[in-house]
């Protein structure tokens, strides 16, 4: 069995940062290892570097010029390769509002990649969302969450559906939350015009995630707190945050992080096809997106349309701009989303017996190495 030993770096482990730490990989998993036990191992010394667990992205639409919504293995693998090279070793494929038949077809194709271990599941973002908060979703394709329609998407995913974002104020919304929970699918509140009270009902019915908190929902108001207050204050809810400098002002991100803490924050990219690419025009589901200066907006209307973010940039910004401790940012990028997906027994932290997924970063938090299940995708 091959053995890899990494030494000399600052290692982010569940208990905190270990200076001049040591990581041992045997085969595809992290091993305990002992100092001095390096015979036959490939040893790499990494002074001045950081070693973090591989990033886990709950909410990701595309990258490398490709999109999960294309519903083809070729495009999906391009997205996967683009984000893996930047440290995201585990990801959920997010779809965009479309015709139910098209979404079912996409889910069928993506489910094969989940079964192969390339993806951690499928996230349906829409079509059961609010017209007034639809953002980069086609408003003509939105609908109420009829149980038969919700079930159609779940069934099309063949057991690989992990999350569905909906607006709980739509007729049947609360019942849909219960149906999702009964089916083992995360019910996420997002793209919503819900009141504080309706959001509380959705949480009590089983919703556990806030889809890109603050974005595509009413702003927080002192007499009408709306969904933001309900989602942020409840310990049962994990909140997604897009840390690209465009979706959220740094003060708002810091406020949310201090309120919820790293165990309730999941940094996501919400990335579309332009991630890892340059400016230009890209499809997002049935709509066209114009990317200028790295900011993605609908070509018609100008609404923010996902991001061009990758998780390494989210980490770098969290530490260098937002002032978050590296260990806290790493939890929001890895262990918290892994726990939400129910796969934290395998990924999300550097611990003996877990998959050897890790990211090596230099002192400027630039990616220098990426390992997935013991194999180097980017060699330091």
Q: Would you say 146 and 207 are in contact if contact means Cβ atoms under 8 Å apart?
A: no
The rounded distance, in Å, linking the Cα atoms of 295 and 162 is 28
Distances (CA, A) of 273 to 84, 196, 266, 300, 344: 15, 34, 21, 17, 28
First to last CA, the chain: 21
Query: Mutual orientation of helices 173-182 and 196-205 as an angle, nearest 10°?
Result: 20
How many other C-beta atoms can be found within 10 angstroms of the C-beta atom of residue 234?
Answer: 18
Q: Tokens 């585990």 label which residue?
A: 90
Q: Would you say 187 and 208 are in contact if contact means Cβ atoms under 8 Å apart?
A: yes
- Our answer to whether residue 270 is catalytic in this structure is yes
Name the residue among 61, 107, 133 with its Cα closest to residue 289: 61
DSSP of 76-99: HHHHHHHHHTTTEEEEEEEEES--
- The residue annotated as part of the active site, out of 270, 312, 344, 357, is 270
Q: Would you say 372 and 379 are in contact if contact means Cβ atoms under 8 Å apart?
A: no
SS3 state of residue 298: strand
Structure tokens at 132: 């007034």
State phi, psi for 78 to the nearest 5 degrees: -65, -45
Radius of gyration over every alpha carbon of the chain, rounded to an integer in angstroms: 20
Distances (CA, A) of 189 to 96, 126, 192, 241, 364: 15, 11, 7, 13, 35
Which amino acids are annotated catalytic?
Answer: 270
């Amino acid at each position: 069995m091959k053995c890899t030993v990494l030494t000399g770096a600052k290692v982010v482990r569940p208990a905190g940062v270990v200076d001049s730490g040591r990581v041992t990989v045997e085969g595809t998993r992290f091993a305990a290892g002992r100092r001095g036990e390096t015979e036959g191992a490939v040893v790499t010394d990494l002074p001045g570097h950081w070693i973090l667990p591989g990033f886990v992205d709950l909410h990701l639409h595309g990258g490398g010029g490709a999109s999960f919504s294309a519903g083809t293995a070729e495009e999906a693998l391009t997205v996967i390769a683009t984000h893996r090279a930047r440290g995201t070793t585990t990801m959920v494929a997010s779809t965009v509002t479309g015709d139910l038949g098209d979404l079912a077809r996409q889910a069928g194709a993506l489910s094969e990649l989940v079964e192969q271990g390339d993806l951690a599941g499928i996230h349906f973002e829409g079509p059961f969302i609010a017209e007034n908060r639809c953002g980069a979703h086609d408003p003509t394709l939105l609908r109420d969450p009829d149980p038969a329609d919700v079930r159609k998407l779940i069934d099309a995913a063949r057991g690989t559906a992990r999350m569905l974002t909906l607006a709980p104020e739509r007729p049947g919304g609360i019942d849909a939350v219960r149906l999702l929970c009964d089916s083992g699918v995360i019910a996420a509140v997002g793209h919503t015009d819900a009141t504080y009270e309706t959001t509380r009902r959705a949480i009590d019915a089983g919703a556990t995630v806030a889809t890109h908190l603050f974005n595509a929902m009413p702003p927080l108001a002192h007499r009408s707190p709306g969904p933001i207050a309900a989602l942020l204050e409840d310990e049962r809810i994990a909140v997604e945050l897009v840390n690209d400098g465009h979706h959220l002002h740094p003060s708002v991100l810091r406020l949310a992080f201090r309120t919820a803490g790293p165990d309730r924050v999941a940094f996501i990219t919400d990335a579309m096809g332009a991630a890892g690419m340059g400016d230009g025009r890209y499809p997002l589901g049935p709509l066209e997106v114009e990317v200028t200066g790295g900011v993605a907006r609908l070509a018609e209307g100008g609404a923010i349309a996902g991001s061009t973010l990758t998780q390494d940039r989210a980490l770098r910004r969290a530490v260098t701009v937002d002032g978050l401790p590296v260990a806290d940012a790493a939890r929001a990028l890895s262990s918290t989303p892994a726990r939400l997906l129910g796969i934290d027994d395998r990924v999300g932290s550097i611990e003996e017996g877990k998959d050897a997924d890790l990211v090596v970063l230099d002192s400027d938090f630039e990616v220098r190495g990426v390992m997935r299940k013991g194999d180097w995708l980017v060699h330091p």
